Structure 1
Amino acid sequence: DANDESLQRYKESLGLGAAAGKDLSDPSDPRTCIIKSLSLESPGRSPITIDLSTPGSEATLKEKPFTIKEGARFTMVVTFKVQHEIISGLSYVQVVKRKGIRVSKDTEMLGSYGPNTEKQAIYTKRFHEEEAPSGMLARGHYNALSSFVDDDKKVHLKFEWSFDIAKDW
């Protein structure tokens, strides 16, 4: 193990090893992955950020929809922490429904990460750019179910939220 150069490089890429610095895991918090926030960024607008850092903060999101302008281009950005152990194959899964009918299911692979250290205190991942649907039929209220899941099918966070597609922001 100690003589395997490629294994050592892999561990260093995950932030493990002597060069990474002090592990920032909180021994009183058993969670492996802590999702801090999810943001929607669109050119010419200030970001819309959902704070998920406090346990239970996601419970109010369904009742407070935010508006996305039809046809607008946007990018989702997630910030998170990893504690205690390596997380492998973390992905974001989102199911969007309108009037109870599923209109989309998207999966965004975030990757594998080692526990956060002083050198890398928090992780930030930008998703691929998307375009909001447009047209009279696309306007309206949508419900989304989002979850962060790893390769072992462990769900690290699951929450419902809602948004409206409208003519204007």
Structure 2
Amino acid sequence: MEIEEVRSILVNTLTSDIATSHLRVLLLQDANDTRRVVVEEFKVEFEDGRENIVYNLDTLEGVEHMRTTPFVMAEGSRYRFVISFRINQAIVSGLRFRNKVKKTVLSTNDEIVLGSYAPRSENYVFVFPRHEWMEAPSGLFYRGKFMGRFIFVDDDHVEHLKLFYTFEIKRG
């Protein structure tokens, strides 16, 4: 039986068997996509209900758009990042999220251990910070453009994704 026949059977079969369900997820993934961690969306949410800023990262054009198109936030805005990703092909052990933001001499670094993830067709969602909101700095010194970078790396020091972004803090 060829792989395409197996895929066809799995697509047309409903099952509650866990092993078959897991096999179904693995076989129905895009075999040409060799990435193990696929970040599909980067979103900036605001506590005050302001419209979310969303970057779709499932294409190279989306990644380039994020790198070249800064988002704007007002001084003192309370915000958080929401990142949707999926795991392909194999378990990723000890996935970490590293975020660095800098402006001239100012720089901040954050690293958070996300954990280990198994392949599945549904997205995992990571919210940073997990239980609160970050606050954009206020004051003349903090206004202007910032450059950021986030990296997904695992226990084996494999860098699964490195993305650059820019944003601007303006007077509220």
Once residues 61 and 152 of structure 2 are traced to their aligned partners in structure 1, the CA distance between those partners, rounded to angstroms, is 15
Equivalent residue number for residue 119 of structure 2: 115
Conservation of the 8 A alpha-carbon contact between 2:147 and 2:167 = yes
Q: CA deviation at 1:17?
A: 4.2
Q: CA deviation at 1:110?
A: 2.2
Contact 1:59–1:159, Cα closer than 8 Å, also in 2: no
Q: 1:57 aligns with which of 56, 62, 65?
A: 62
- Calculate percent identity across the aligned residue pairs: 32
Q: Is 1:90 equivalent to 2:95 in the alignment? A: yes
Asked which structure has the greater CA Rg, the reply is: 2
Identify unmatched segments of 5+ residues in structure 2: 1-17
Instruction: Say whether the 8 Å CA contact 2:70–2:167 is kept in structure 1.
Output: yes
CA shift in 2, pair 1:41/1:21, >3 Å: farther
Aligned residues: 149
- TM-score, length basis structure 2: 0.78
SS in 2 for 1:88: strand
Match of 1:78 among 79, 83, 86: 83
Amino acid at match of 2:153: V
Measured after TM superposition, the shift of residue 56 of structure 1 is: 5.0
- Equivalent position SS for 1:30: coil
Tell me what 1:104 maps to: 108
Tell me how large the CA RMSD over aligned residues is.
Answer: 1.9
More helix by share: 2
Equivalents in 2 of 1:85, 1:62: separation in Å? 28
- Which has the bigger relative contact order, CA under 8 A and spacing at least 6? 1
Deviating above 6 A after TM superposition, structure 1's stretches of 4 or more consecutive aligned residues are none
